[in-house]
Amino acid sequence: MIDKIFLNMTRTSALLILFIVAWIFVVLFNHSIEAMQTFGFDFITKDEWAPNLEKFGAYAAIFGSVASTFLAMLLAIPVAIGVAIFLSEIAHDKIKGFFGVSVELLAAIPSVIYGMWGLFFFVPILRDIFGGMGIGLLAAGIVLAIMILPFMAAVTRDAMNTTPDILKESAYALGGTQWDVIKDIIIPYAKAGIIGSLILALGRAIGETMAVTFVMGNVHHTPKTILDPTTSIPVTLANEFTEADSSLYFSSLFGLALTLLVMSFVVIAIAKFYFLRKVRKGQ
Amino acid sequence: MTATQKRIIINRIALGFSTLSAIIALAFLFWILGVLVMKGVDSLSWSIFMFEGSPPGYAESGLKHALVGQLILVGLATLIGVPLGIMAGTYLSEYGKNSKLAHTIRDISDIMMSAPSIVIGAFVYAVVVMPMGHFSAWAGAIALAIIMIPIILRTTDDMLQLVPGTLREAAFALGAPKYKVIMDVVYRGAKAGILTGVLLGIARVGGETAPLLFTSFNDNFFTTDLNEAMPSLTVTMFNYAISPYDDWQQLGWAAAFILSMFILGLNIVGRLILLAGKRK
């Protein structure tokens, strides 16, 4: 009797996850129908966002999300791989433990703090170097890169650590240098895991709100240069959600949220199911 | 130059680059930590804990409202999220095992772990705030709980699977019903792991700002009414930081410092518990 109740309680909790996820999609979809009906495909291809005229085109926000994430990945990937190699192959055991833990702890620092640092300490430097406001796509890309770096380095290191020692030792026995072992043994062996980890980090970066809200500018224009202020989907949501005053405005914001959710779901699913599953099967 | 010499030189260059990137990365991260600590310690004072928010320029302003609000929000989220997460994880590990349903739930929950938190905020706005007609602490706590459940589920599932099957069989052989085996044997064996998962889950949602922006919203005054907008450290930090007032910005840094110490502390305690459990 109690056995049955216990089973049912745990099963209901587990099914609740599926239910919530489905519910999120349904709710976001329902609320964005009005915008979709009004604008159709123009919603994602036009960049005119004028609440006073009831015109909502999300292209600038979508472009800003993609561009800032791309920029962040461009900057973070080489450094993260370098850090991962350092942590898994180069560093002395004692340093490894200390740096390894500090990298993981840094990944836990709230992203809003990266945003504050960006606004008060990094944007002025950019302003001095490039002129202009300092706030914009470049600042967002760099702050995002720094924010995602600890997570990316930690998961990439974990992927590299799956390489069996025996493979590495055989390569050393043949006279390989450390770099030979890294380039010809570890990276080929852990390739799927490394790519999966990098994409997973990308999935996190694309939905990141607080690190970029401070430094992006929230201007609905597709930027002409990397220094121009622009916006992204999460930045628009964070700035405008509580200000929306018409149902079409709301509906457009829900449309943005749905777009973002679909984008990140696809990215994360590719990382998990295509690359990281390969790793699990390989083991 | 022989081929060997060439390889050795390339090796040095490559390792040098890797070490350099590690140094660059750590320099940036320690810069941020340094700023956080300097600014935070600078702005800390007893008045922060004694006074609630006030208009800029007032000496008697503090973060009492945000600290208490943060504790209430995270506490409520924990009360909702932890039992659900642990029960769901229990189902996956003890009943679902390798069934298709269990794998589907694991996969979806894993994806949810990295889903954009601001979208969760928008969802909760639609299903809680809109029907209620106003922002509330409940809405904020529900948003945080939704983010927390996948984390707890995952660690519970993993930790319960580490408990040896022979222990379960021994308990079954004594005639214990399944729920008793799970409660008294499996949970006991995985206690440290589950606790770590809970602490890490709390640490994760404690630093979330985006899902609170339009669920619990913010308030500059002390409140314990769960049906009203509730201030939180993160949203207060955000609002104060983008304000043009020096004293508000100072309070923002103090909030950032307190919150980071709290989250780092939870992370460290979680790791220590796991380490102590492993040593046994």
Residue A51, pLDDT above cutoff 90: no
Residue B26's nearest CA partner among A105, A157, A270, A47 is A105
* Band of pLDDT at residue A283, cut at 50, 70 and 90: very low
Angle, vertex CA A275, rays to CA B104 and CA B164, nearest 5: 55
Domain that holds residue A201: 2-282
CATH code of A203's domain:
1.10.3720.10
What is the helix (H) or strand (E) element at residue A202, kind and residue range? helix A187-206
pLDDT tens digits, residue range A110-149? 999 999 999 999 999 999 998 778 889 999 999 999 999 9
Query: Which residues 44-73 of A are in CB contact (within 8 Å) with B?
Result: none
Residues in A closer than 8 angstroms to B129, CB to CB, are none
> Could A16 and B109 be called an inter-chain contact, meaning their C-beta atoms sit closer than 8 Å?
no
Q: Which residues contact B203 (CB under 8 A, 6 or more apart)?
A: A108, B263, B266, B267, B270
CB neighbour burial string for A191-224, b if at least 16 within 10 angstroms, e if fewer: ebbbbbbbbbbbbbbbbbbbbbbbbbbbbbbebe
| The predicted structure's pLDDT at residue A152 | 93
> Could B209 and A112 be called an inter-chain contact, meaning their C-beta atoms sit closer than 8 Å?
yes
Q: What is the ipTM of this complex?
A: 0.92
* Closest A-chain CA to B269: A105
Is residue A252 within 8 A of residue A56, CB to CB? The reply is yes
Residue A224, pLDDT above cutoff 90: no
* Band of pLDDT at residue A281, cut at 50, 70 and 90: low
Residues in B closer than 8 angstroms to A24, CB to CB, are 119-120, 123
Domain count for chain A? 1
Transcribe A237-257 into DSSP letters: HHHHTTT--SHHHHHHHHHHH
> Could A207 and B118 be called an inter-chain contact, meaning their C-beta atoms sit closer than 8 Å?
yes
Q: If you count residue pairs, one on A and one on B, with CB atoms under 8 Å apart, how many are there?
A: 250
Is residue A223 within 8 A of residue A229, CB to CB? The reply is yes
Is residue B138 within 8 A of residue B230, CB to CB? The reply is no
The domain B50-279 belongs to what CATH superfamily? MetI-like (1.10.3720.10)
Candidates A1, A4, A6, A200: best to mutate against B (most CBs of B within 10 A) is A6
Residue A184, pLDDT above cutoff 60: yes
> In 3-state terms, what secondary structure has residue A165?
helix
pLDDT, mean over chain A: 90
Is residue A130 within 8 A of residue A227, CB to CB? The reply is yes
Burial class (CB in 10 A: 0-12, 13-18, 19+), B36: buried
Residue A7, pLDDT above cutoff 80: yes
Residue B254's nearest CA partner among B51, B25, B31, B27 is B51
Q: Render each residue's pLDDT in chain B as its tens digit; 280 residues.
A: 788 888 899 999 999 999 898 888 888 888 999 999 999 988 888 888 888 887 887 777 888 889 999 999 999 999 999 999 999 999 999 998 889 999 999 999 999 988 899 999 999 999 999 999 899 999 999 999 999 999 999 999 999 999 999 999 999 999 999 999 999 999 998 989 999 999 999 999 999 999 999 899 888 888 888 888 899 999 999 999 888 888 889 899 999 999 999 999 999 999 898 888 776 5
Of A91-100, A202-211, A273-282, B152-161, the range with the lowest mean pLDDT is A273-282
Residue whose entry in the numeric block shows the structure tokens 């990141």: A208
As a whole number, mean pLDDT of residues A183-187 equals 92
Distances (CA, A) of B203 to A109, A231, B148, B259: 9, 29, 10, 10
- Alpha carbon distance A237, B125 (integer Å): 12
> Could B115 and A179 be called an inter-chain contact, meaning their C-beta atoms sit closer than 8 Å?
no
| The predicted structure's pLDDT at residue A168 | 92
Distance between start and end Cα atoms, chain B: 55
